[in-house]
Amino acid sequence: MNYSRIIGTGGYLPERRLTNTELETWVDTSDKWIVERTGIRTRYLANNDQDTCDLAEQAARRALEAARVDASELDLIILGTTTPDRIFPSTACLLQARLGNHGAMAFDVQAVCSGFLYALSIADKFIKTGTAQRALVVGADTYSRLVNWNDRSTCVLFGDGGGAVVLETSVSPGILSTHLHADGAYKDVLTVPGTVAQGRLNGDGFTKMQGNEVFKFAVNILKESVDETLAANQLDIKSIDWLIPHQANIRIITATAKKLNLPMEKVVVTVSEHGNTSAASVPLALDVAVRDGRIKPGNLLLLEAVGGGFTWGAILVKY
């Protein structure tokens, strides 16, 4: 049986660093309020001449370098994003051209903050069926461009970034199981309601969020996802070496860990450094923990995320 295995990780944050102190001069907020409510201290914003593909490219190149794989060896490229550079072609195709790959399957996945998990799950299936041998999976967003910077309830939360992994076929287990779900009944709880027609934006192009509803849903559904994943693999929470959650809000992360009876010492937390980077947040956190040595070969990792839609899911990985 074929398995897919992560052989390289990469991450990238833009140079422009926006602190809470600077945000205090933009909107009626404070560093103390932001940290207490979200755990976020800084976030990074793409420059005006940077697009999502620019962030994805840097993360991808770092993952390819770590994997010691040339882009020409890839036969699948999947990019999770909510902020594509163009209506079409896909940002994955734009990335493919940047990397100098010709002929690999390339497409985007839109599942908002769950985008990387959706993309990783799809790549895993391609490899397990023998359709692909090496895959590049990226989560990247310039989410700051979907934020009204006069709305303090949302503008403090989001930032831009990119994260990536390289997968290859393996005879030993790497990705053990994937569990994805969605429920469009919650479409208005977290949304950007605008549409594009006749070359123009119709409606509102900024993020609208019912914060309390998002919090309650996220904490409950993330625990359910973890329980589902553990049950499918006949494991208990003590078997997990590292939980790598979507980096949306420290309160969601800590509340989920508490529900799972999982000590925070086993949770990778990077939200304070870059805020909610949407599809990039899970691979960014994964890359940080791999590069600083916390994650070691053989560790059992549980990745989880929830995003607008709602979409949600969890993936169990033997690193």
Q: Number of H helices and number of E strands within the chain?
A: 10, 15
Residue with tokens 């914003």: 45
Q: Is 93 a catalytic residue?
A: no
Q: Is 246 a catalytic residue?
A: yes
Residue with tokens 């560790």: 299
Question: SS3 for 249-282, per residue?
Answer: CHHHHHHHHHHHCCCHHHECCCHHHHCECHHHHH
**Catalytic residue from among 20, 101, 249, 276:** 276
d(CA 78, CA 90): 10
**Catalytic residue from among 53, 93, 113, 155:** 113
Handedness of CA 15, 21, 27, 29 (dihedral sign): positive
**Catalytic residue from among 20, 101, 155, 246:** 246
SS3 151: coil
DSSP character at residue 40: -
SS3 95: helix
Give the amino acid at 93.
Answer: C
d(CA 156, CA 23): 8
Q: Is 113 a catalytic residue?
A: yes
DSSP β-bridge partners for residue 177: 316
212 contacts: CB under 8 Å, gap ≥ 6? none
Judge contact between 121 and 134, C-beta under 8 A: no
Extract the tokens encoding 61.
């190149």
d(CA 221, CA 267): 17
Q: Which residues are annotated as catalytic?
A: 113, 246, 276
